[in-house]
Amino acid sequence: MKVDLKEQFLISPSLAFFLVHSMQIGVGVLGFQRYVAAMVEQDSWITVLIAGATVHVIIWMMYKMLNKEKGDLISIHESTFGKWLGGALSFLFMIYLIALGTTVLRSFIEVIQVWMFPMIKTWPIALVYLISVYYIIAGGFRTVTGVCFLGVVIPLYLVFTFLAPLEFSNYRNLLPIFDHSVKELALSVKTMTLSYLGFELLLIYYPFFKKPETSQKWFHYGNLFTMFLYLYLMLITLVYFTPDHLKRTIWATLTLWKIVRFPFVERFEYIGIASWVVVILPNICLAFWAASRTAKRLFHVKQKKALGFILLLSVIATPFLKDRQMIDRLNSLVSEFGFYFIYGYIPILFVCYYIMTKVRKKA
């Protein structure tokens, strides 16, 4: 079922680069190294490359379905499974998107509370942040895309700050190479793929591209840039930290910033965290925009009303996630669902969709 949109709501295909990259880089990049290196230590950089390569395959599958359907996930579900079952599956995806946005928000608030303001309460930050999110999303998808563009360009200077720890690095930490079993690498790849989550939102915003089939190469470029950035951070982390030290470091990226010193600022990680506000904003905006867009398509309500309800749920739920264990548990649940959705459900949907397409042609 083709989704037709007016010209003024559409964006350039090249902006797919910023949409995918801004969604993949979020709170997880502040501490992904510890979890990925838990199994394979110095071979962690290999898992970054393998995980990034598998994401390219899933992106190809999504584009094959979307280019054929000329619609979004809701129309693909309806074409494949019918109105009711397809609608139920789309509803589950909407719940995942709400949980994803809430998880990113609460995880970032935790970073602020631990590193900057230990006494600050959760709900005021969540409320102020979500008011700005509502304002951005209410401006339409083009406004959300603009925030994604700024979320990539403005904090780009931070890439160079990670060169400071190289002065104290030991490059022998990268040896020996290929020193772990295939099973260990596979488990580490699973952990790493969770850091690439976010690209699946293409299934919702695909119809908003002008000539959407031409956006595929830009989407692949965006994922490639994400893979390069994760590889860059992982290599610097491995040569700076010893394996034992890394296992005890929750936020390795933030710890790397503690090395940076300027005459005019002592604690550079404060600047890094403040800059990360701009990085996190596209994550939350895009997740809640996609959730409200799905609600609009499923229940035929105005997107602003659906958005208001979703943000209200999020601001109520956020303060209940009080400690590290609860936040970590929610992160694990959302990440697990995202992993199985991408590597389990999308390939199954890909096969089912093409079977149903052939059946309809014969009929």
Q: Is residue 41 within 8 Å of residue 181, measured between CB atoms?
A: no
Quick check: is 125 in a domain? yes
Quick check: is 349 in a domain? no
Q: Is the pLDDT of residue 291 over 70?
A: yes
State pLDDT tens for residues 7-22. Answer: 888 999 999 999 999 9
Residue 1 confidence (pLDDT): 58
* pLDDT bracket for residue 144 (50, 70, 90): very high
* pLDDT bracket for residue 363 (50, 70, 90): low
Phi, psi dihedrals of residue 154, rounded to the nearest 5°:
-60, -50
Quick check: is 71 in a domain? yes
Contacts of 146 (CB under 8 A, 6+ apart): none
Tokens encoding 143: 């406004």
Mean pLDDT for the chain? 92
Quick check: is 239 in a domain? yes
Average pLDDT for 12-37: 93
Quick check: is 361 in a domain? no
State pLDDT tens for residues 213-269. Answer: 999 999 999 999 999 999 999 999 999 999 889 988 888 998 998 888 777 677 788
pTM given for the model: 0.95
Average pLDDT for 86-108: 95
For helices 83-115 and 268-299, angle between their N-to-C axes, nearest 10 degrees: 160
First vs last C-alpha separation in the chain: 18
Q: Is 209 helix (H, G, I), strand (E, B) or coil?
A: strand
Quick check: is 35 in a domain? yes
Contacts of 267 (CB under 8 A, 6+ apart): 258
* pLDDT bracket for residue 5 (50, 70, 90): confident
What CATH number does the domain containing 164 carry? 1.20.1740.10
Contacts of 150 (CB under 8 A, 6+ apart): 278
Residue 264 confidence (pLDDT): 66
Distance, CA of 275 to CA of 111 (rounded, Å): 13
Instruction: Work out how many domains the chain is built from and give that number.
Output: 1
Quick check: is 336 in a domain? no
Distance, CA of 333 to CA of 218 (rounded, Å): 30
Q: Is the pLDDT of residue 324 over 90?
A: no
Q: Is residue 17 within 8 Å of residue 222, measured between CB atoms?
A: yes
Task: Choose the most confident range, by mean pLDDT, from 141-150, 153-162, 243-252.
Answer: 141-150
Distance, CA of 335 to CA of 103 (rounded, Å): 10
Quick check: is 107 in a domain? yes
Q: How many CB atoms lie within 10 A of CB 153?
A: 12
Distance, CA of 14 to CA of 12 (rounded, Å): 5
176 is in which domain, residue-wise? 7-322
